[in-house]
Structure 1
């Protein structure tokens, strides 16, 4: 048996491609089981985040399983695989092991050293284990990946100044608007990414943050933690009328905010500028919304420039992390 990884991420595919290849959490277990049941595949797990979607399998012959797995990814998403094939990376053997270790250690993240990815890898592994899609190969691979990630975190400074995509979103708002203390902020989504953004925001704004979520109880819970207020999703348009900065991260299957929405909103705002930062995959805001006067829309790929400014020091520490990963890959391959 050998390890095979097939996927795409922020480095290989733009957001308009990534949003078509996602594995929602509520269906992830079922899809993982589907991959594990393919001929020649013994074990499987899915890693799906806002910046990457990949499958990790143990297979009898990785070269022979590559094409069936790519077709299966297309089948799961109702897509012809040919148009997205150029955006995929394929790793097998020690290259696949190295890839998994680097991902877990946050050396392959948009923001090197960000802490969220390790939890996301653990969650993907848990979901796969829950549907009996893992076995001795992936179990050992993932546990060694967690160990490698811990070594990188504790033996280097790669995470000492780490920021998240959510933090980068706040930085972008600050660069565009200047000081945020007199700005009103609307958060759409009550998940981890929205919460991270909010926690960075409340240190810079005086006005209470407004939280909108499909589940009103979740919106209330987050708003309470942030000493803000909650609004029902049906009142989203009212929230947009009042907000200066909107950060959205629900990953809805259909856009929550369209060009028509923003036309109505901007008329009511008398075209006072509004900044929409869409960090969701799939995107929450229809790209055409940016065509409306005084609407400034940024998506997750636009955050890369903000991230790049802060990466110099962490890149030096990442080199030390890469050496640790190589040590752990060698140990795994000699198992």
Structure 2
């Protein structure tokens, strides 16, 4: 039994390649079924995010499993193996398990420590469970990883420090004001940076968004997405008069807000403070505007200092989490080692129950006058004797399974209880697998 992951992510494939290898939600069940029916694959989970597509699998042989998962990618996406293989990475056993923990905690994300990926991996696991693509191994591993990621987020707050300029702008606004839901926010520029800023603002409770853009249609489209108002560039003065917070991120080569414009705006604001955050390069706002009374101006360098400081903090936390991951992986494989005793335990139980059943048959023959009720009582008590006798050996053999000389101990255990190799073959891990599913 081996853990394996085969996938592609932002490190190995550009976005134009990644977008071609995504599993649609309505077909994920079919994909999981196909994987489960594939030779060597015993369990499967498909994880997909905007920056990665990965197939996690339990395989009986590493080489065969890798071959058939790559073949699955090729056939599912109708692309030759030669075209997709250069973008795929393959991780096996300890490395694959460690990779899952890094993915789910955000340590393998484009933005270090992002928290959204936990929900995405959890959903992928639940989908695989729903389609009966997981069993003992992945049910244990993914539940352990989900629990661990939740602990990391709650104990370290790794995802709460702003590590993008647009996010930092919103974090700064939150520090300036005790609340944002009652503030008017003006976003100047409807490009990618402006949209990201609007997303962060909206998720932080901002209800009043105004958008100004040179192309009014773009402003209108973005404002509509956030239930806001759109203004033309000619209406900038009006929007500034209404605003509490202004975040500007255009691609203009000249100043959007100059001294004369602010002088006019201030006259109509009745000493109401105005906070301006300029995240454009070149700058949109004349830097001398910060000298006006009740006008507070921050530029991209102010925000970059926040981002750099927060990224250093995230990296320190990430190093700590990496140490925790090593312990988690070790714990998982200690549990995996105990699976080697499943055939022994199953064979021992089976042999014991056969002896108990033979004894009951002998009692029935020698004491034919016994009633059904009496036989039932005897059967119950003889099974109880068997279970009590087996309890301690089973506990001990599980402990032996994680010892350095486990192989010799297992051999000794087999000899003590007279377990034959043929009995063990019929009780291999994946033949007794279903009785351990949860």
Shorter chain as normaliser: what TM range?
0.5 to 0.7
Distance 1:51 1:104, change over 3 A: same
- Distance apart, 1:63 and its partner CA: 2.2
CA RMSD of aligned residues (A): 3.9
Stretches of structure 1 that go unaligned for 5 or more consecutive residues are: 172-179, 188-193, 213-218, 230-238, 244-271, 275-304
How many residues are paired up? 245
Secondary structure of the residue aligned to 2:5 is strand
Distance 1:154 1:2, change over 3 A: same
Among 198, 204, 210, the residue aligned to 1:206 = 210
Distance 1:51 1:308, change over 3 A: farther
Whose helix proportion is higher, 1 or 2?
Answer: 2
Number of the residue aligned with 1:61: 61
Secondary structure of the residue aligned to 1:311 is helix
What does 1:161-200 align with in structure 2 at a 5 Å threshold? 161=161, 167=167, 181-183=186-188, 185=190, 198-199=202-203
C-alpha distance in structure 1 between counterparts of 2:326 and 2:42, whole Å? 26
Whether the 8 Å contact between 1:186 and 1:210 is mirrored in structure 2 is no
- Distance apart, 1:202 and its partner CA: 5.5
Whether the 8 Å contact between 1:104 and 1:146 is mirrored in structure 2 is yes
- CA offset digits 1:103-148 (Å, max 9, x no partner): 1111111111111000000111111111111111110110011122
Distance 1:42 1:86, change over 3 A: same
More displaced stretch, 99-108 vs 307-316: 307-316
Secondary structure of the residue aligned to 2:327 is helix
Say whether residues 1:323 and 2:323 are aligned partners.
Answer: yes
Number of the residue aligned with 1:136: 136
Distance 1:26 1:228, change over 3 A: farther
C-alpha distance in structure 2 between counterparts of 1:326 and 1:29, whole Å? 32
TM-score (normalizing by structure 2): 0.49
Distance 1:198 1:3, change over 3 A: same
- Distance apart, 1:211 and its partner CA: 5.8
Secondary structure of the residue aligned to 1:85 is helix
- Distance apart, 1:195 and its partner CA: 5.7
Whether the 8 Å contact between 1:152 and 1:324 is mirrored in structure 2 is no
- Distance apart, 1:315 and its partner CA: 0.8
Larger gyration radius, structure 1 or structure 2: 2
Higher relative contact order, chain-length normalized (CA < 8 Å, sep 6+): 1
Distance 1:166 1:123, change over 3 A: farther
Stretches of structure 2 that go unaligned for 5 or more consecutive residues are: 172-184, 193-197, 213-218, 234-249, 253-303, 336-438
Whether the 8 Å contact between 2:5 and 2:91 is mirrored in structure 1 is yes
- Distance apart, 1:156 and its partner CA: 2.6
Distance 1:102 1:332, change over 3 A: same
Distance 1:332 1:182, change over 3 A: closer
